[in-house]
Amino acid sequence: METQRFSALIFHLVFCCIFSVNVHASGTYHGGAGAAEDPYRLLRAEHLIELGNHPEDYSSHFILMADIDMDPDLPGNQEFEQAGIAPNTSTSDTFEGIPFNGIFDGQEHRILNLTISEYPNTSYLGLFGKIGTDGVVQNLGVVNFDCTISNSYTLFYFGSLTGYNEGTLLNCYAGVNVDSGNYNTHQENLGGLVGANYGDIYNSHSKGRLHLNWGSNCGGLVGYNGNGFILHCSSSCSVYSASDSI
């Protein structure tokens, strides 16, 4: 009997420890449990930064509760050196991070003034570095996105919303300003909304400016569309590139 009690106590302690670790490992948001019926709620810039720092949450459900201003000059904010969510963890053009495979519903809100200063050989840039095959981003605007490409020789896959999409984008839009001031840089697959698309994009648009010096596959909406599907989308971006595939 004492042995049974001791075993039960050990099981209880181990279970509590595992549960505590899982709770601690998840990001701290404005409430919610990450499930479809109770998604994590994002209200401030710190919540979006928390999401980016917790890839174990990348398969969860999220909703935006208000516009979020990511201006790096505001207290607690930051200028990013890689994608805000699901960044590439290597310096190569092969994605080695964890893609976002959750559901992100902007609820018609916007993410404002996201700023990325691109560092040497960084790829998969955007709000999301890579959206996986199960990922869905909908009803979201990324406005006044600013990226200056100045220190890198190569940059692969850039888009305001995501550098690389294999999932579904629905009712999304972007306002972008991209400038590659260094004539030694080389860019491939850069778009106002999505860098490279192998998923589905519906009812989305982009506007703004992309000024690229040398590269390939540059577009106002999507830089490169593989076997992806695009329906009811548009772009009013001005695009300049010394490239033969714009």
CA distance 134 to 156: 22
> Residue 126 — left, alpha, or beta (φ > 0 → left; ψ -120 to 50 → alpha)?
left
User: CB count, 10 Å around CB of 5?
Assistant: 9
Question: Nearest-5° angle of CA 69, CA 75, CA 76?
Answer: 80
Burial 41-53 (b: 16+ CB within 10 A, else e): ebbbbbbbbbbbe
| Residue 220, token pair as written in the block | 């106002």
The pLDDT value recorded for residue 181 is 59
pTM, full prediction: 0.86
> In three state form, how does the secondary structure of 37-60 look?
CECEEECCHHHHHHHHCCHHHCCC
CA distance 222 to 229: 11
Q: Are 126 and 81 in contact (CB under 8 A)?
A: no
CA distance 47 to 34: 13
pLDDT tens digits, the chain, 246 residues: what are they? 544 544 444 444 444 444 433 444 578 999 999 999 999 999 999 999 999 999 999 999 999 999 999 988 887 777 787 899 999 988 777 899 999 999 999 999 999 999 887 555 578 999 999 999 999 999 999 999 887 765 555 678 989 999 999 999 999 999 988 776 555 566 788 899 999 999 999 999 999 988 877 678 889 999 999 999 999 999 999 988 777 688
